[in-house]
């Protein structure tokens, strides 16, 4: 292996940044962590963390950390792996954590461990990973999954879209198969071929920006060469299906 390979250097720089930023971030948000842990311990079913098996770098499985937002037996209830707004499996506290994306914060532990990055492809369940074409899977597995990424930015309203589709009396799985998975695949391929520290910093900025400007379309202005978003993946588009 050539240790002077630019890709190796870039990977080391990214890992150093991710680890440093995550350790500092954990220190800063530790008071919030403590408050949420106490609230979760004394509400719902008393569960604090939820560990779920995902597909990581080079197809290696790992367990992702999240704050518990759903009932313990949720994988065997209702829509199983598909989640919609006002899903009865979501706890009252979990609703707030999911809307604010605070439930994702424990993934900072995955970054420190080393099986995730701050920015990268969405960490996928095996069932979701297998929905992609082989071409897309070959690309996704070459990067560590990220807490945020281009897919996370574009699909931050995913639950809302799926809920709207289900309200039409249609099967959410059909919506995923026909529209969501194909476009997610295009986005992850875009990230793979355009990845750089500059792109990661922009996505990181947009991630924080979207927390206070939820309906912002700034991502399309900053990344003008993104694959075109199908009309069916907009609120108006869903109503016309």
**Which pLDDT score is estimated for 14?**
93
CA distance 53 to 140: 16
Q: How do strand 49-55 and strand 117-119 relate by DSSP bridges?
A: unpaired
Task: Give 79's pLDDT tier (boundaries 50, 70, 90).
Answer: low
- Per-residue pLDDT, averaged over 158-182, amounts to 90
d(CA 235, CA 228): 16
pLDDT per position as a tens digit, 208-232 = 898 888 788 899 999 999 999 999 9
Domain boundaries, the chain: 6-239
* 15-29, 75-89, 205-219: range with lowest mean pLDDT: 75-89
Rounded Cα gap, residues 13 and 19, in angstroms: 10
Residue 117 has pLDDT above 90, yes or no: yes
Nearest one of 74, 52, 48 to 62, comparing CA atoms: 52
* Cα–Cα distance measured from residue 17 to residue 48, given in angstroms and rounded to the nearest whole number: 28
First to last CA, the chain: 51
| Helix (H), strand (E), coil (C) string for the chain | CCCCCHHHHHHHHHHHHHHHHHHHHHHHHHHHHHHHHHHHHCCCCCCCEEEEEEECHHHCEEEEEEECCECCCHHHCCCCCCCCCCCCCECHHHHHHHHHCHHHCCHHHHHHHCCCEEECCCCECHHHHCCCCHHHHHHHCCCCCEEECHHHHHCCCHHHHHHHHHHCCCCHHHHHHHHHHHHHHHHHHHHHHHCCHHHHHHHHHHHHHHHHCCCCCHHHHHCCCCCCCCHHHCHHHHHCC
Q: What pTM does this model have?
A: 0.84
90: pLDDT strictly greater than 70 = yes
At 1 the pLDDT is 42
Phi, psi of 3 (to 5 degrees): -70, -15
Rounded-to-integer distance, Cα 102 and Cα 100, Å: 5
CB 226 within 8 A of CB 159: no
Answer yes or no: is pLDDT of 91 > 50. yes
Q: Which of 119, 115, 128 is nearest to 146 (CA)?
A: 119
* Per-residue confidence (pLDDT) for residue 76, from 0 to 100: 53
Does residue 45 register a pLDDT over 90?
no
pLDDT tens-digit series, residues 126-159: 988 999 989 999 999 999 999 999 999 999 888 8
- Average pLDDT on 90-118 reads 90
Q: Is the pLDDT of residue 86 over 70?
A: no
pLDDT at 38: 93
């Amino acid at each position: 292996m050539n240790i002077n390979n630019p890709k190796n250097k870039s990977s080391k720089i990214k890992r150093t940044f991710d680890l440093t930023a995550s350790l500092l971030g954990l220190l800063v948000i530790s008071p919030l962590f403590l408050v949420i842990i106490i609230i979760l311990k004394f509400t719902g079913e008393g569960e604090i963390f939820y560990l779920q098996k995902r597909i990581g770098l080079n197809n290696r499985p790992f367990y992702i950390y999240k704050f518990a937002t759903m009932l313990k037996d949720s994988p065997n209830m209702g829509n199983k792996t598909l989640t919609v707004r006002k899903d009865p499996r979501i706890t009252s506290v979990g609703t707030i954590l999911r809307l604010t994306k605070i439930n994702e914060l424990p993934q900072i532990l995955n970054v420190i461990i080393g099986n995730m990055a701050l920015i990268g492809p969405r960490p996928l369940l095996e069932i979701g990973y297998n929905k992609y074409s082989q071409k897309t899977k070959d690309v996704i597995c070459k990067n560590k999954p990220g807490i945020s990424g281009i897919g996370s930015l574009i699909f931050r309203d995913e639950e809302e879209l799926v809920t709207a589709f289900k309200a039409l009396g249609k099967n959410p799985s059909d919506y995923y198969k026909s529209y969501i998975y194909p476009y997610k695949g295009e986005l992850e391929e875009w990230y793979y071929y355009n990845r750089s520290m500059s792109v990661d910093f922009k996505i990181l900025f947009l991630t924080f920006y979207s927390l206070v400007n939820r309906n912002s379309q700034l991502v399309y202005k900053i990344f003008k060469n993104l694959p075109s978003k199908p009309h069916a993946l907009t609120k108006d588009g869903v109503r016309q299906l």
